[in-house]
Structure formats: structure tokens, C-alpha cells
Structure 1
Amino acid sequence: MNTRAPSNPPQDDYKIKETKPQLGERWPHGGVRGGGWISSDRVTSTYDLVEQMYYLYVRVVKARDLPPNPVTGNCDPYVEVKLGNYKGKTQRFDKKTNPEWNQVFAFSKENIQSSVLEVFVRDKEMVKRDDYLGKVVFDMNEVPTRVPPDSPLAPQWYRLEDRRGENKLKGEVMVAVWMGTQADEAFPESWHSDAALVQGEGVYSVRSKVYVSPKLWYLRVNVIEAQDVESEDKSQLPQVFVKAQVGNQILKTKLCPTKTKDPFWNEDLIFVAAEPFEEQLFLTIENKLTPSKDELVGKINLPLTIFERRLDHRPVHSRWFDLEKFGFGVLEGDRRKELKFSTRIHLRACLEGGYHVLDESTMYISDQRPTARQLWKQPIGILEVGLLSAQGLLPMKTRDGRGSTDAYCVAKYGQKWVRTRTIVDNMSPKWNEQYTWEVYDPCTVITIGVFDNCHLGGNEKPAVGNGSGRDSRIGKVRIRLSTLETDRIYTHSYPLLVLQPSGLKKTGELQIAFRLTCLSLAHMVYLYSRPLLPKMHYLHPFTVSQLDSLRYQAMNIVASRLGRAEPPLRKEVVEYMLDVDSHMWSMRRSKANFFRIVSLFSGLISMSKWLGEVCQWKNPITTILVHILMCILICYPELILPTTFLYMFLIGLWNLRHKPRNPPHMDTKISWAEAVHPDELDEEFDTFPTSKPQDMVRMRYDRLRSVAGRIQTVVGDMATQVILLVGLFVLRHPRFRSKMPSVPSNFFKRLPAGADTML
């Protein structure tokens, strides 16, 4: 029985809403009024897709001639910038009287409640209170305003004053203070007052950041043969296999069917590798002694940089490699560590540059370019996205006994990831940050996710259902670029919908603005006739199991590399953005896809019903008109094609009225998320392998068999209807065969699909 949670909001609350934020305006000659500019002939980030926000910037450059502590004779200086209740601290230097920080602090103008800015220079003490070295005070009324593209404000030296500001002290500090907007080049590197949490003496801050995915390659290792393979037992011929390892990826060849000293395999092993190549290819030949015991015959480590980089399907030269093997047995004594000649292995290995390494689902792919930069085409457009704000976010953890959320946004398109600063303890955060991407294909998707930062320190406790120490998912938005009108600014509020074990939940709304600027309309139209992926995917395709395994490895590599950045883009964030669990079984998704297929054939079903009514004379006027049309077409057969195309053209014009003005968003009905059974949700969120009791697993297995049986029956009925067409297609003349997909097929695959609105 289908149920729906009574607490769910109405259906209208799940739809996107058009907003009218006060965005900046583009200047007529390339600049932007209110905080941004265009720096080249092509469109770049202009900050005209965000609301203008003013910040007080304080750049602390360095200090000189600071007095040492009279007791220790040393000075461990740092600077504290104070504006009302907001404080920011620089890094501390040990035993340095002339430190250099070059750090920028940004205070939101909306939160300024003080008329003076104080810059303190202090000496860190381990036992007592930090020693006071002096301060500089700035009157807020005297702070200049700088609007890009003005020249940067030059810092100046200021003498330190005592606490009352009456006497000058020894030492000087170089500081620059100005009022600016988020278009200032100092904005990304700044410590922000609304993005920092002060706990005692520690300051935890997460700035905005731009990340770049590592350049991924497919490593193809063709294991051909080996020579002079010997087992430890000289009286027995070995039966061996090859094990290859790159990082955490381990693949094995099949066991050689015969026992011989010269085994032959000719198998391809495919790995994913990332530049710069930190891992090596580790090869071992092992002899199968028993089903549970293998004997090491030889090994070798090969750096990936020695392999050829192939851009197409041309042959690659093979090479022989000598494997290492060490002596065995106690009787050999010191000769156990002596390197002995063991065997040779014949390999044909290369780094494939003609493929696109898939690290995301093909349904929501954001980049289709091959790995090799030599094969890239010119961009066809520019995508600009303004991450404005969020509204009504749910509390994701507790702080001081109350609900709290420290929200930040992550956007991913192509190889470029961006992350906004974290707004601390705010259910309606405002980011107003703008980013730009080059577009190489319109049939791509940008993904924007909202997360709660759980790594700020302090006494935060994750809410129920969230893993401790992991950034919580608040929701995400997908936008397919082919559904956008070029040079139009879209400003919408997107509901953040998350499917949880308890049901569908709205966790807030995300306000964004975006614009797609077309650089080459002809090239954009031409792309609709091209295959979705590079041609190597069609000339030498991978199997489905290979693609699933390689995508999983690629995601792990991307998550590992981005996790090393500072601040890190954590694994749980990367996995959520890349849909790591999209391959898992779900009864809900299966139902949704089934009804999508039904809707696809609904037109044919309606046509057959209409034809049946015509034959039954249920509407005599319609039947008579059909007779007249049939007679005309029989008498004038040359009108058949023009009439057909005219009918299709008129139908297209009629349906143009219903063309959506806004890009599609998550559709809860198509996703089958509102009427999903609780047990099906529990199954969807089950672990792999399952952690449920045996009786429940048996029930779900029987249910799966029942569904599969019905699908098998439907597929069988469809097969009997289309077997003739399939047979004619399979038996077509070689002249009409090609590994590359046809132009109509490419055009159809690039059209927006219902998959874009699936949860």
C-alpha cells in the first residue's frame, strides 16, 4: 500500500520560483557597475549575477622593530584585528621581531556596529596573558572606498600606540584598510567575519576556493606472454597468472589454461591513473599451487611515465621486461638477497588520451572532452553562475542546545569545482559569489550542492541520522545547459529536496542566478550531430562492468586528490556531487523508469485508440474526413511526404506553446518519491551488503523475482512485435554499418530527458 508522509509540504512548494534580486548591471563598454568587470574580449566573471555586498578589508602586511620580551628576550608576535564584537587573528611567528603575514581580513558592512577599527600587535605568552606590544586605531569615517578596476590600495607604515593612544611605542606595522565589494581581488583569500568561528584562542575559517580535478588517464596494459617461468618445485611445470596493481586498483589475468614455462594470455587490463603520476604499475607473476595458495614467481615496478600516450587507435609497440626474483631457502644463506634472473614478460601498455575518463554518471555528465588536450575543440560558450543565498535551511546539528547550520555551496562543471565560504550559524546564509566556466558542449549538466560544515571545531553534535565528522548533505540542484536560452539571465529559487529513510523532505531553498553566453552558434548546432562521447568510446568500447569499475576508481582518485587541498573538499562531498550510489538497486527508481517508458509509448497507444474509434465510426465526421484524406493521398501520392512534414510542423508549432520557460528541476512525481512505500525506502537506504534480517531479505528477494517476472513477460511481448525490424537491422548491408552512431541517433540522445528531474 502506497503511503505519503502527512508532514510533507504541498506540491507547489516543490517547484522552482522566479526571483528578482538586485543584481549588478553590465557596463556598456565591458565593465560592470557595482563591483566587477570584463577583463578581455571574451566574457569573463563580471559580478553582475550577484547582489552587491560591501566589505571592510584590512590587509596586515608586516611589522618591524618590535620590542622583545624583557624576561625571555624573544618576541612571538601576531596581530589581532578587532571591529566591534568581531575579531580575527593572524598567524603567530616564533622569535621574530620583523614578521611578515600578508593576510587579509574582511568584515561585512551589514554587521559593522563600531565607529573604529583596532589593530593590535601582541606577543604570545605560554603561561600568562599575551603581552601587549601596541595598537593602531582607524576611524571608520576616514576609510576610503575602492571599486574595481581601481588600482590596489598601497599599504602604509603606522607607529604603534599605547592602550590610551596617547604615546607612541617602539615598533611599526604595515597595514592597508579600505571599503570594497566581493569583486575585489582580495575577496577569495580573505578571512571573513561571517565565515569564522572563534572558540577560545582558536579561529576556524573556511574560505571560498576553486579546485581543479586531476587529469585522468585510462592505462591499458595488454599482458601478452611470458618466458622462462619456473616454479620453486623444479619437477612441476607452473600454471600461472599475472596480477597488476596501480595504487588501490588490482586486476588479474585469467589462469593460463596449460602448465608451461612460456604462458600466453593476451588480455587487456584497464586502470585509471591521475597526473602527476604518483603510483607505479606493480606486476607480479604468480603460480597457482592450490586453490588457496599462490607462489610468487617474479615481480617488477614500472613508472607510468615510461608508457606511450596514444591519441587514437593506432597500434602501440610492445616491450619485453625482465622480472625480479630472489633466492629461496635457508640453505642459500646470504644468497637469499641476491638478485637472480627469473623470467621475462611481454607487455603492450599505453596511456589512452582519446577517451574521456568518466567520473560521473553519463546522465548528468558535465564534461565530454577526451583526456588529451590536443583533441580539444574551441569553447562554444561561457557559463556564469551567481550563488546568491539560501532560505529556510533546516538545522543540521546542535550547538549550545539549539539547532544550527554552517552552510556552504559547492558547484561542479567540467574539471572545475568551486566552493563558497562557510556562513556560520545562519539558516538563511548569503554568499553572493560568482564563478565562470567555459562550455564545450551544451548537452552537459552543472551540479550545485549545499552542505553543512561539520569540521569547524567546538561542541557541535551532528543531527540524528548524520554520520559524525562528515559534512551533511542539505540538497543539490542540476541544470542542463541545453534547456537554457543564450544571453538570458535566470534568477530562480530552487527547492532543496532530499530523500531520506523517513521519506521526501524539503531542507530549504537555494537562490541562484546564471547565464549562458554563446560564442559560436554554428558550432553549437553542429555539436548536435556529433556523438556524445569521443569516438574511441565507440570504436573500442569498454564493457558495462568495466565502465562501472573504472568510474568507481576515478571517483576515488578525484576524491583523494581534492581532499588534499586546503581547505579540503571532503570525500562525502565529492561522492554526493558525482552520484556515487546511482548504480545501487532501488524499487522506487525502477518504478519511475518503468512509467517513463510507458509515457514514451503513450503517443502510439493514443494513436491506435484514435484509429480504432475511426474504424468503429464513433465520430462519423472524423471518419468521413479520414476517408477523404485517404482518397486524396491515393490519387496524388506526391502529396504524402509534404502532408506528413506539414503535419509534423504544425504539431511542433502547437506544442511550442507549452515549452517551459524555466529549466527543469527535480520532479517528485516522476521520481516516484511522494508515494513510495516505507519498506521500499528502507531497502533503498540499506547497506551493501545488506544488514537486514534474513526474513526481510527473503521477502525482498521474492518481490524482486515477481517484478522481474513481469518485466520478462513484457519484454517477451515487445520482442515478438519488433523482431522483424530488429532482424532487418541486424542483417543490413555492410555499406550501412558503422561503429559510430548516426546523426539522428546523436541528435536524439542529446535532447533533454526526464532523467534530469529524477531524485
Structure 2
Amino acid sequence: MKSDMPGAAGTLPSSFLPPMTDFQLKDTNPLLGGGGGGGKAAAFDLVEKMEYLFVRVVKARDLPAMDLTGSLDPYVEVVLGNFKCVTKHFEKNHSPEWNEVFAVPKDQVQGSSLVVELKDKDFVVDDFVGRVALDIVEVPTRAPPESPLAPEWYRLEDASGRKLERGELMLAVWFGTQADEAFPFATHPDVTPAVDRRIHSVYNRSKVYHAPRLWYLRVNIINAHDVFVSDENRIPEVLCKAKLGSQVFVTKPIKSRSNIFTWNEVFFFVASEPFENDTLFLSVEDRVSPTKDEVLGRVHLPLTSINKRPDDRNVRPKWYDLKKPVFAVDVDQLKADKFASKVQARVSLDGGYHVSAEPVQYAGDFRPSAKQLWKKPVGVLELGVLQAEGLLPTKTRDGKGACDAYCVAKFGHKWVRTRTAVSDLSPRFHEQYNWDVYDHATVLTVAVFDNNQLDDSAGGGNRDSVLGKVRIRLSTLETDRVYSNSYPLLVLQPSGVKKTGDIHLSVRFSITSTLNTLLLYSKPLLPKLHYSHPLPLSQQQQAALRGHAANAVVARLGRMEPPLRREVVTYMLESQMHQWSLRRCTANLQRLLSAFSGVRMLAGWFVDVCHWANPITTLLVHVLYLLAVCFPASVLPTALLYMVFIAAWRYRFRPRKPPHMDAKVSNVEKVNPEELDEELDTYPTARSPEVVHARYFKLRNLATNVQVQAGNVATQGERLHQLLSWRDPRTTVMFMAFCLVAAVTLYAIEFRLVALAAGLWVMRHPKLRKKMPSTAANLFRRLPARTDTLL
């Protein structure tokens, strides 16, 4: 059967893959903190100092009238060489206030003068009102913690430089760095004419986002009383449905002729703070047909009315009156009913658990939901996003390849986003952020994206493209050491792994108390309620809750300005990690073999010793074994001291770089393109039925091999159990006799002699061996197993 994917017949050719050296982590030596110098440590000491010319347009007053009606729609245009920055305009305002800041990189300042023009917005051509011209050499320099520069009133001039009778503009102009307080709010005029300036103004500033605090909402639906159905001739099949937003859970339907129905089922929802607009809906319904449920009563429970439970204290159940739907209300029936239908439920917001929106191995935080249970931070994590290099062009602009890159970093509840560098394949960010660290067994995630929202004609429907990701585990970092490295940005595509560039980062992890940090190793990773009162959920249910938590984070961050788009948040949260991937399956198998490679090597070495492959080594092992048997008390101390010696010897070769995305461990070197296409396929699939059919049979073949190997392992375990089960009575009798003789022998003869004889027998010379299997192996192979009872 042919595949409609190119290159599906084999693995990727070696000429296609980039050299493996391009996938390696590289050391960098940036001039952090501006290259040093005396004085106090800079607040931005993990990034290079970048100087900017700041222009703050505050307000204007006493502006002249431009139209016949005397109105004026003013705005300000800042002109510096090829750079132009425009403020918003006001309608019919002679004393506007803008309070906008523009920042131009000092190394890109062109010309010797700064011109600030005030114009009148018009339908055809904007009218010139006046201007202010300043010499660049006269601009002062300011460095925090100095106080902000006081703005100054400037009289407007005409085009020839003469002062106007009316009109003044308040400005503040100074040279500063990215450590300036105005930098996060400044507009960067790195815009090409093809980019809408209004849209770019939303994305050209760095932003800090805070993910919502998530809670588990526990709903225990116990029973319902006084529930009556419309058709009394039919045995009702009643169920209770619980709904919170898009999360819906349904109890098992209960058939009963009485008006009391008992379920006693527990459901868990994920709720995000604040709870003002969230409501839990409980509805009792009658299953009239397999496709139709008739609502008998409903109750609304605002989450603000539900008690928060930070521990395992018992929550008393409550009775809630069920209100019938409006279309089902019968006035005569209401008068006849003496009792309202009720449902009994136990509802609480459990704050003693950690609600995870990402896989535990990549989590940046393990704190419980209840804030009063949080411990003090044990350290501070600082990240400097320096620059990106060699980014691949993702679009064409002005006849040249362009990329609108920005970075997103996540750790715990705090997310950060750098400004978008427009049409720059080697953007310089040099932005620094910090986080409080509550547990150092956590992971910092940094990703680079291409902003596809700058084109106004797209209407915001384009997805931001992924350029790569970096994960750094804090426990792998040395304390107070600055790691400055260039990380490769790798993206997995149907054609194979692709390097999209490099991102330069500087990271430092500082701890407040060494003792508290070391004590964390003795404490559980998750809050104690996860162990003392674990959630009664299956692995599939936990994965579903993690998906609901991720959706809550996506919804909250998507409502901020500028929004973090869904594809960005899901990529950062690794929402697609647990989908089927043959490449990941093979990579995990290789990791398993690598983890036990030492055991395999030791077993192979011992086989060589037993077969006297190297007689000197075998004789030396005999001597060591004799010493261990004669002096058993020294075996364990010697082994421990040997481990100390190995660790001390390996200190010289310890890792000096943080971990990074490893293409070899990820098994992307020899992966089949068809397997990559299957991994990146959507759900439901977008491929043809023939391709899906071929993949199904391939998966069946793989599952068959797994099934056979699992059966072989189970057979060996069952044979071990059969020794004492009397399923094979002759084998059981022989094993009993052997155990009896062995017990008498071990009791009568000193254990050292038995151990010495057993060791010498195992390591005997090949001339004393037979090529046939041993008696014990033959006996074990003949034992019955439960394979005979399988259909």
C-alpha cells in the first residue's frame, strides 16, 4: 500500500539533517551589566546594557485653531532620522494629554536633531501646527535610581524655526537604558511600513501575566428526595447532572418507583479564581429515552457561596431545593405539592491540593491552592533574555525575509512576554525577569514564537508559529552562578527536526537559606493531602482534569492585553505531550536501556569472569570474593566508600552547562518521516483512509510484539508461583525435598563455607562446565503456566 507522504519509505537521509554540532549548547561571553565597573550592582546585571533615547510626550496647551469652525484634532509625530513615532489623536481638543513614551536604540539614532511635530488630523492631508527641534548632543543622560527627568514646556515653532504666538508642548527627552522605569511602557519604533502601527503598539512592549490560581471543586452528590415524574405509569430512571462551565459529569441512572434516589458519587471540577462569574449547576433529570433526558429540577450554586477547605476536615452535606424549569411549571401542581424536590450534596473547594495544568515533570510550581498553606520562598530565579540569532525567515516583507519574534517564559504562576521585534532575524531583547522559588525541583520554560498578528488584513486569525523551546531544571544549576549560553531552537516538522535559530539566555539561581533548600529533598514533592488523602481518580481522570486546568489558563491569559494565544499557552503547557508517538515510544525504550546499561555491562563482565575470558581478572575476583566471604562486615562500608570515591572522581567531569533539548535522546536522527507525520497529525485525523489504515496495521504489529514480550514475562512469574501450588505435584514434591535438604545443610554447615562453595562453583573453569542447560533451568522451564488456560 502506497503512502501519500514523501519519503515514507525509509528514514531521513543524513544529508537532510543539520550537523549535530548545530544542536549543541554553546557558551557565550556577553558583557552582562554593561561590562562591569565600580559602584553598586546593576538591577539588570544578567543582560547587556542597551542605551535608548527616550522621548516622553506629556501634553500640550493653548493650541491654535486650524479649521474654520475653530476645532483641532491634535496628535504628535516624533521624527528622528528614518524613525517615526505617532501618538494617538484627540478630537476637538486644544489642551490634549498623551503621556506616551517612545524609545529609540542609541546605536540606531540617525541625524543630529530630534524633531517633534504637532499636527491636526484631517480627512485628506494632516495639517502642520508646529514643531519642537532639539539637538541630540544636548540631551541629558539618566540612570536609575535617579529621579525621573522633569518634563519641560517648549514653545512651538513653524517650519522655518520662528516661535509661534500660541501653542506649547511639554516634553521630556533623555538617554537611558532598559533599566529605566519608562522602558516597559515605551513604544519602540522598529516598524516597517507594511506593519500597521496601531496593531504593533499592542505588541511592542514587554508584559507580565499571572496565571489564575486553580482549585479542585469536590461535588459529592448523595441522593434526591420527593422527585416526581410526569408519567406515573413508567418506572423512572433518574440521574443527576453536575455542570461547571464546559465540565459536565453525570451520575449513574437509578430506577426506582419510590421518590427517593441515592447515588453517592463524587466528582471533581477545576475552578479558577476569581469565582464571581462561575456557577455550579445541579440538575435532576429523568432519562425518558436513550437520547432524551427530561429535567425534573435544577439548582444554581455560585462558587462564591461555597466554603473553601484548606485541609481534610469533614464537610457537612446540605439539602438544596430543586426548582423546576419554567416551561415545565404547572400552577395547579404547585398548589398540590406540599414538599419541594430536594437534592442532598456535599460541595467544597479543596485548597490543600496542587492543581496542575502541565505534566508534573515539567511543572514550575507545586504549591497548594490555599494561599495560607504556602511556605516562604527558598530562593530567587533570575532570567535574562539576551537575543536571538540566525532565525529562519517565516514571511516576506518589502522583498526580504522577515521574522517577528518574541519570547515567552513561564515559571509557576508568573508568565512573561518580551516585546515583538519586527522584521529582525537577529533581534536583541536584553530583558530581565525574576521569580520567587518555592521548590527547586521545578522547571523554567522559555519558548520563542513568530508573531503573525501584525498583519491587519488577517483579522487576528493567524496562528503564531513556534520557533523552539528551552527547558531548564533549577536543581541542575549551581547556586549563585550565572549561566550564559546559546540554546538551539529545534522544531519537529513532518520532514524532520529543523533548527530555526539560537536563543541567548543568562540564568542565575540564588537561595536564601542553604539548610532550608537541603531540607526540601526530604519532603514530598506535592502537598501532604496528595498522600494522606489521595484523590480517588484514575490516571485517565487525572489527565482530563489537567486538560480542564490547561483550558482555564488558556481562557484567562487569552483575555489579557495583549493576549497570549491558545497555541502559545498549550505549547508552553505541553498539552500534547501524552498523545501517541512512535518516536517517543522508541526514545523511552532507548532511555530505559541506557538507564540499565550499567547492569547489562556488569552482567556481561561477570559472564566473562565465569568463563575465564581474562584469567588474571578471574583470579583477582576469586581473591576479592574470598575476602568478602571471610570478612562480610567490611563489604557494605567498602561499597559505600567506593561510591564516595567514584563521586569525588567524577567531580572534575561534572556537567558545566544546563540541560537542553537533545536531538539524540529525542530520537529524531533516524526517525521515519511517516512516523513524524503521524505524530503531528490532528485529532481527528486529516489524512486519507488509506494512510490511517496502514498506520493501524503498523500499530497492530507493534502491539503484537509488546503483547508477546509481556506474555513471556508473565509466564516466568507464573512458573515461579507454581513451585508451591501443587499444579505439577511431582515438581512441588521435588522442590519440597530440595528445600528440606538445603535447610538441614545450611543449619549444619557454616554459611561462609556454603557461600564460598557456591561462588567457586559459579565461577568454575570452562573445562568443568557443560554446554547443556543446568538442572535448575531445565526444571524451571518444565513448570506449567496459565498460558494453557488462555483462549
TM value normalised by structure 1: 0.89
Quote how far apart the aligned CAs of 1:258 are.
Answer: 4.0
Corresponding residue of 2:576: 581
Whether the 8 Å CA contact 1:329–1:336 is kept in 2: the answer is no
Pick one of 649, 670, 684 that aligns with 1:689: 684
Q: Distance in 2 between matches of 1:317 and 1:303?
A: 18
CA displacement, residues 431-452 of structure 1 (integer Å, 9 cap, x when unaligned)? 0111111111111111111111
CA shift digits 1:169-193 (9 cap, x unpaired): 4122211110000000100010012
**Residue 694 of structure 2 corresponds to which residue in structure 1?**
699
Determine the C-alpha separation between the residues in 2 that align with 1:144 and 1:119. 17
1:545 corresponding residue in structure 2: 540
Matched, 1:505 2:498: yes
Map 1:738-757 to 2 at 5 A.
none
> How far did 1:611 drift?
1.3
Describe the shift of the 1:503–1:248 C-alpha distance in structure 2 as closer, same or farther (beyond 3 A): same
Identify the residue that residue 359 of structure 1 maps to in structure 2: 357
**TM-aligned CA deviation for residue 698 of structure 1:** 2.6
In the alignment, structure 1 residue 22 sits paired with structure 2 residue 31: yes
* Partner in structure 1 of residue 515 of structure 2: 522
1:300 shift after superposition: 1.6
How far off its partner does 1:197 sit? 6.1
% of aligned pairs identical?
51
The 1:680/1:145 distance shift into structure 2, 3 A limit, reads same
Q: Judge conservation of contact 1:382–1:438 (CA < 8 Å) in 2.
A: yes
- Aligned twin of 2:96: 99
Match of 1:661 among 636, 653, 656: 656
Secondary structure of 2:406's aligned partner: strand
Tell me the equivalent position of 2:455. Answer: 457
Residue 168 of structure 1 aligns with an amino acid whose one-letter code is L
1:188 lines up with 2:184 in the alignment: yes
CA shift digits 1:493-547 (9 cap, x unpaired): 1110101011110000111111111211111111112222112223323321121
Structure 2 Cα separation of the partners of residues 200 and 557 of structure 1: 31
Work out whether 1:311 is the aligned partner of 2:304: no
Q: Comparing both structures, which one devotes a greater share of its residues to strand?
A: 1
**Aligned equivalent of 2:631:** 636
Q: Does the aligned pair in 2 maintain the 1:325–1:339 contact within 8 Å?
A: no
User: Where do residues 131-142 of structure 1 align in structure 2 (5 Å cutoff)?
Assistant: 131-142=127-138
Q: CA deviation at 1:333?
A: 8.7
> Does the 8 Å contact 1:238/1:261 carry over to 2?
no
- Alignment partner of 1:613: what SS? helix
Partner SS state of residue 185, structure 2:
coil
Q: Deviations over 1:36-74 (max 9, x none)?
A: 3xxxxxxxxx21111111001111111222223442332
Distance 1:96 1:606, change over 3 A: same
- Decide which of 152, 155, 158 is 2:154's aligned counterpart: 158
**What is the match of residue 382 of structure 2?**
384
> Per-residue CA shift, 1:251-310, capped at 9, x if unaligned?
212222545421111111111111111221122111001111110111121110111111
Amino acid at match of 2:540: S
Q: Tell me by how many angstroms 1:713 deviates.
A: 3.4
* Cα shift at 1:725: 12
Residues 261 and 26 of structure 1: CA distance in aligned 2, closer, same or farther (over 3 Å): farther
Contact 2:404–2:421 (CA<8 Å) still a contact in 1?
yes
Is residue 195–residue 454 contact of structure 2 (8 Å, CA) maintained in 1? no
Give the CA deviation at 1:397: 1.7
Structure 1 range deviating more: 59-68 or 566-575: 59-68
Q: Does 1:563 align with 2:558?
A: yes
- Of 478, 481, 498 in structure 1, the residue corresponding to residue 474 of structure 2 is 481
Of 17-26 and 285-294, more deviation after overlay is shown by 17-26
Question: Based on CA coordinates, which of the two structures has the bigger radius of gyration?
Answer: 2
Tell me by how many angstroms 1:413 deviates: 0.6
Would you say the 8 A contact 1:367–1:444 is kept in 2?
yes
Match of 2:321 in 1: 322
Instruction: Please state how far the C-alpha of 1:457 moved relative to its aligned partner.
Output: 2.4
Compare the two structures and name the one with the higher helix fraction. Answer: 2
Evaluate the alpha carbon distance shift between residue 70 and residue 646 of structure 1 in structure 2; reply closer, same or farther with a 3 A threshold: closer
1:8 — aligned with what?
17
* Gapped regions of structure 2 (runs ≥ 5): 1-9, 723-791
Quote the Cα distance in structure 1 between the aligned partners of 2:462 and 2:338.
50
1:602 to 590, 597, 613: 597
CA distance in 1, matches of 2:425, 2:197: 26
How much does 1:644 deviate? 1.7
Closer, same or farther: CA 196–324 of 1 in aligned 2, 3 Å? farther
Per-residue CA deviation, residues 444-470 of structure 1 (Å, 9 max, x unaligned), is 111111111111125789xxxxx9611
Looking at structure 2, the residues matched to 199 and 124 of structure 1 have their Cα atoms a distance apart, in angstroms, of: 21
* Alpha-carbon shift at residue 650 of structure 1 (Å): 2.4
- Number of the residue aligned with 1:84: 81
User: For 1:73, which of 70, 74, 78 is the aligned residue?
Assistant: 70
Aligned residues of 1:245 and 1:283 also touching (Cα < 8 A): yes
- Describe the SS at the equivalent of 1:193: coil
> Aligned partners of 1:272 and 1:605: how far apart in 2?
45
Match of 2:687, SS?
A: coil
Greater mean deviation of Cα atoms: 15-24 or 197-206: 197-206
Q: 1:720 to 1:482 in 2, by over 3 A?
A: farther
Q: What is the number of equivalent residue pairs in this alignment?
A: 708
CA distance, structure 1, for counterparts of residue 116 and residue 720 of structure 2: 80
The alpha carbon displacement at 1:712 in A equals 3.1
Give me the whole-angstrom Cα distance separating, in 2, the residues matched to 1:260 and 1:95.
74
Q: Within 5 Å, which residues of 2 pair with 1:251-330? A: 251-277=249-275, 278-326=277-325
CA deviations 1:126-181 (Å, max 9, x no partner) are x2312222211111111000011111101112222212221224122211110000
Contact between 1:326 and 1:338, CA under 8 Å: does it hold in 2? no
- Alignment deviations for residues 378-429 of structure 1 (CA, whole Å, 9 cap, x no partner): 1111111110001110011222443210111111111111111111101000
SS in 2 for 1:632: helix
- Give 2:54's aligned amino acid: Y
**Unaligned stretches of 5+ residues in structure 1:** 37-45, 462-466, 728-759
